[in-house]
Chains A and B, each alone.
Chain A
Amino acid sequence: MTDVSTEVRTTTAGGVGESPFRPDGTFKVTGQFAYSSDLYMEGMLWGTTLRSPHPRARIASIDIGPALKVAGVSAVLTHDDVPGEKVYGLEIADQPVLAYDEVRYQGEPVAIVAADHPETARRAAALIVVDYQVVEPLSDPREAVGHPYWKPVHDEPGERTAMSRDKAPVHPEGNIVRHQRVRFGDPDAATADVVVHGDYEVGMQDQAFLGPESGLAVPGEDGGVDLYVATQWLHVDRRQMAGALRLPEDKIRLTLAGVGGAFGAREDLSMQVHACMLALQTGRPVKMVYSREESFFGHVHRHPALMRYEHGADRDGRLVYVRAHILLDGGAYTSSTPAVVGNASTLGIGPYDVPHVAMDCWGVYTNNPPCGAMRGFGAVQAAFGYESQMDKLAAAVGVSPVEIRMRNAMSEGSVLPTGQVIDSPAPVMELLRRLDAMPLPGAATDDIRLLPGGVSNTTHGEGVRRGVGYAVGIKNVGFSEGFDDFSTARVRLELMGDEPSVLVHTAAVEVGQGLVTVQAQIARSELGVERVTVAAADTQVGSGGSTSASRQTYVTGGAVRAACEAVRSELLERAAERYGPGEFRLVGGRLESTVDGVVGDIASLLVEGAVERTVEWRHRPTQPLDEATGRGDAHVQWAFCAHRAVVDVDVDLGLIRVVEMAAVQDVGKAMNPDAVLGQIHGGTAQGLGLAVMEEVQVVDGKLRNPSFTDYLIPTIMDMPPMRVEVLELADPHAPYGLRGVGEPPTISSTPAIVAAVRAASGIDLKRVPIRPEHLVLR
């Protein structure tokens, strides 16, 4: 790796820049790691949820009587039993805890049941009689924009929450959640020699984490409740739960249980309030675990997108203007649609310098499944549009896909269409140069397992064409648009036995990405102590913010470093008292003077007592976007990744095999190089899924494939070998110079694969995921 980042102390083993093993690794490989679905407590009940079969209906009545009569059932609850606020939400509280008056999407929770066996609970729930008066759903997002007051999904506006940004919309325009305009230069007047147009569509993707929504709620003796749960942000769960349960926040204690992946799907509440309602009602612990089918209904998905792009360039392919419309289907409730619109509109022309831009992005309500956060949100959808356009432009101008991107690549000092200056490295050209220099894989082999169709034995090479495609993407890191985005870390340094030992405590959620490892690495480097324990995340410490937006290593990492610095100051004061004034540092358990070398050990400074500091740390402030022009320094940081895809396509059958993926990503500073690679590999796989197989199929508001039999995610046979290069160009504004890593690889993966399939097949593909019929039935 190229290392030009800020220098840090790494002489303490297992510190920043190394790849120590995960502290939870042994527990995870022995089956001892307790995921949220593994929890057990003597006397616990099982909760289940009754969900609406209709995308839209009025509820005339609910009769829970038949369910209550089932032996083994302890409670059956409806909206009447919600103790407090009947709606919740991240930015806008508009989603019912349990449906009242109306259901707005298929799968909306209507009633909950607790029983002594999960099957008893399910059978009892099926006996609840709900009188639905079915209403025709609004299922086409274009109708939502075209006739904002026709078939309104909501009768009245939702309420702002503590997370609402200054300009958070409270659906002022009927079905429009947010309409963000971005105007830069003079897009109305701009003309160009070469103009390319395109309409593009992105299907609804599911996060498909493997660990289902689940948790255990335990009623407390103080009238409060303890919840052990898999989530992405404990404190925002708690805030929403407090409203719904009508309990003060300090009576709701959340502890993170093992999380089986997240990818955005755990940002919104699922079973949290329901399990607590059942536990408080029955006075017994209640466990809820969604089945895979229920999971498809129980969390938000990636917004489907309809996009129209027009790119104008000079004869050399240098962009003059981009005009774009992006329409995002937010489904029945707001969730994080406003932020998705923010990302798509501000990043929607990609990592390119464009003098004139007119972008309009809408997020709308429909009666489709609610859509919200998924890895790379807003940026993923737009990248399929703008990168498809860049290939079209390359063909129109007569240069290669790499060359057209090089000619337009943004760089440090570039100005986004929002007017914000990119004030840290933006090595788009370097990513492309390195990608282009990587060797290509060899020709297709005669092993049928490596051909399109694989062991289905559909071809022995006849009709198979190879294609290569490129793409590059941009993603904002952290929460944008003026949000007060912070994390809290408590760090305690003390003697355990005779050894110095550090305890790091945050509420930041580990979802598999390796935050627990990185927190310990930071403490080792900052305090010179090898023995570090990361405490379970819970609400006994201040908020860690969300595990999303590629932000945790940046923000919670920043908080841990700041808390360590505070601890270190105290320790160095003790050193100065003992050894006289001087410059000291803490390395490998020792206290070193810059003049005299080793003068003592850290342990001896702790004899007089432990040192503990709690620090709240925030990244630099951002600004809201102007509604009409999109002006505003809205983003904290940007991250870039580029992909090259090589595919073999059976053009007769429309089957695709991805032969190799290559990626180059700038990560600022590889805090844990192995974990960085893991993020790039995994993100690339999710992008591959969106390109060639993954779609939640919705017809008239109804899900057609809520299972892993019918919703396909990449297997090890679908994933090709990967080449990865990592750049480390420090961001001077970020801790250690690091850049968020998790989302960028998901963004450029999809368009690179589609470009390769276009190159192989000669077909102008406009939609992801690509289906066989897009290639053969035209």
Chain B
Amino acid sequence: MTIRVTMTVNGDELTADDVWEGESLLYVLRERLGLPGSKNACEQGECGSCTVLLGGEVVCACLVAAGQAEGADVVTVEGLGDGEQLATIQETFVESGAVQCGFCTPGLLVTAFDLLNRDPDPTDATIREALAGNLCRCTGYEKILDAVRLAATRQSSSA
């Protein structure tokens, strides 16, 4: 049996048809709605590569059944910037060298974006705790910390 799922993704109302009820939000975003930015690295909620905002909450899209997202407001990495301009955290990831293979990057960006919305001036320990659910295999996290610190500084100076 299949279902129809309608949700607001990055501000646009989108509908997916013929969704098998076992599909995750991640699968629907990637394979049915043309938004492959959220990544599929473990599909059991351990790596954070598929992190999105669901109703303003940080979730692993792989652990959310597609049907649970019916009517919800979803923000993915594709929606962090405004289309023309990168979000500050996206800029600082590029500038700081926080991106190597980049597979973890979308999830880290969404998590860091959420952190800086909640806490514009986080300590290192707070950054580490907030990003603890996002695995990166390339960087050793040093430059990811740099990027988050730089984004915090840049956002507070422009605020």
Residues of A whose CB lies within 8 Å of any CB of B are 19, 21-22, 24-26, 28-35, 37-38, 40, 117, 119, 207-212, 258-263, 289, 291-292, 447, 449-450, 455, 511-514, 674-675, 677-678, 681-686, 707-709, 713-717, 719, 721-722
Complex Cα gap A9–B94 (Å): 26
Complex Cα gap A406–B136 (Å): 35
Chain A residues with Cβ under 8 A from B159's Cβ? none
Which chain A residue lies CB-closest to B46? A708
Contacts A31-B36, A682-B139; A210 near B78 (Cβ below 8 A): no
CB distance from B132 to the nearest CB of A (A): 5
Q: Which of B119-133 contact A (CB under 8 A)?
A: 125, 127-129, 131-133
Complex Cα gap A21–B35 (Å): 25
> CB-CB contacts of B136-152 with A at 8 A, as 1s and 0s?
11111111110000000
Could you tell me if A29 and B140 are in contact, using CB atoms closer than 8 angstroms? no
Residues of B whose CB lies within 8 Å of any CB of A are 20, 22, 30-31, 34-44, 46-47, 49, 76-78, 80-81, 86, 90-91, 93-95, 97, 99-106, 109, 125, 127-129, 131-145
Complex Cα gap A35–B102 (Å): 9
Could you tell me if B140 and A684 are in contact, using CB atoms closer than 8 angstroms? yes
Most central of A32, A119, A211 by chain B CB within 10 Å: A211
Could you tell me if B90 and A30 are in contact, using CB atoms closer than 8 angstroms? yes
Contacts A211-B39, A260-B102, A682-B100; A21 near B95 (Cβ below 8 A): yes
Could you tell me if A210 and B97 are in contact, using CB atoms closer than 8 angstroms? no
Complex Cα gap A717–B126 (Å): 10
CB distance from A626 to the nearest CB of B (A): 38
Could you tell me if B42 and A678 are in contact, using CB atoms closer than 8 angstroms? no
Contacts A31-B35, A40-B31, A512-B138; A709 near B44 (Cβ below 8 A): yes
Complex Cα gap A447–B44 (Å): 30
Chain B residues with Cβ under 8 A from A719's Cβ? 140-142
Complex Cα gap A261–B49 (Å): 13
Could you tell me if A35 and B103 are in contact, using CB atoms closer than 8 angstroms? yes
Chain B residues with Cβ under 8 A from A674's Cβ? 97, 143
Contacts A212-B41, A707-B42; A28 near B99 (Cβ below 8 A): yes
Could you tell me if A209 and B137 are in contact, using CB atoms closer than 8 angstroms? yes
Could you tell me if A449 and B135 are in contact, using CB atoms closer than 8 angstroms? no
Which of A21, A37, A119, A263 is close to B137, meaning CB atoms less than 8 Å apart?
Answer: A263
CB distance from A691 to the nearest CB of B (A): 14
Complex Cα gap A278–B34 (Å): 24
CB distance from B139 to the nearest CB of A (A): 5
Q: List 15 A–B pairs whose Cβ atoms lie within 8 Å, in order of A's numbering.
A: A22-B94, A22-B99, A24-B102, A31-B37, A208-B137, A210-B41, A210-B103, A211-B41, A211-B101, A212-B40, A261-B100, A289-B40, A678-B138, A682-B140, A713-B137
Could you tell me if B143 and A678 are in contact, using CB atoms closer than 8 angstroms? yes
Complex Cα gap A449–B144 (Å): 19
Which chain A residue lies CB-closest to B145? A716
Which of A260, A262, A685, A717 is close to B41, meaning CB atoms less than 8 Å apart?
Answer: A260
Could you tell me if A119 and B22 are in contact, using CB atoms closer than 8 angstroms? yes
Complex Cα gap A731–B86 (Å): 41
Chain B residues with Cβ under 8 A from A685's Cβ? 137, 139-141
Complex Cα gap A443–B10 (Å): 46
Complex Cα gap A709–B44 (Å): 8
Complex Cα gap A503–B36 (Å): 28
Count how many pairs of residues, one from A and one from B, have CB atoms less than 8 Å apart in the complex.
Answer: 180
DSSP majority for the A interface? loop
Chain A residues with Cβ under 8 A from B91's Cβ? 29
Which chain A residue lies CB-closest to B94? A25
CB distance from A18 to the nearest CB of B (A): 13
Complex Cα gap A358–B42 (Å): 44
Complex Cα gap A289–B26 (Å): 14
Complex Cα gap A292–B42 (Å): 5
Could you tell me if B77 and A210 are in contact, using CB atoms closer than 8 angstroms? no
Complex Cα gap A170–B35 (Å): 48
Complex Cα gap A686–B93 (Å): 21
Chain A residues with Cβ under 8 A from B134's Cβ? 715-716
6 additional A-B pairs beyond A31-B78, A263-B137, beta carbons within 8 Å, are A29-B94, A32-B37, A261-B137, A682-B100, A682-B138, A708-B44
Chain A residues with Cβ under 8 A from B94's Cβ? 21-22, 25-26, 28-29
Complex Cα gap A25–B40 (Å): 19
Complex Cα gap A283–B144 (Å): 44
Chain A residues with Cβ under 8 A from B141's Cβ? 681, 685, 716, 719
Contacts A210-B41, A260-B41, A722-B142; A678 near B100 (Cβ below 8 A): yes
Chain B residues with Cβ under 8 A from A37's Cβ? 36, 39-40
Which chain B residue lies CB-closest to A707? B44
CB distance from B113 to the nearest CB of A (A): 11
Contacts A708-B47, A709-B44, A716-B145; A260 near B135 (Cβ below 8 A): no
Could you tell me if B125 and A447 are in contact, using CB atoms closer than 8 angstroms? yes
Could you tell me if A291 and B128 are in contact, using CB atoms closer than 8 angstroms? no
CB distance from B133 to the nearest CB of A (A): 8
CB distance from B71 to the nearest CB of A (A): 23
Complex Cα gap A708–B102 (Å): 18
Could you tell me if A261 and B101 are in contact, using CB atoms closer than 8 angstroms? yes
Complex Cα gap A572–B49 (Å): 50
Most central of A212, A258, A514 by chain B CB within 10 Å: A212
Contacts A31-B106, A715-B132, A717-B129; A210 near B142 (Cβ below 8 A): no
Complex Cα gap A681–B144 (Å): 11
Which chain B residue lies CB-closest to A34? B36
For the complex of A and B, the 6 pairs showing the least CB-CB separation, nearest first, are A31-B37, A512-B101, A260-B103, A681-B140, A28-B102, A685-B140
CB distance from A25 to the nearest CB of B (A): 4
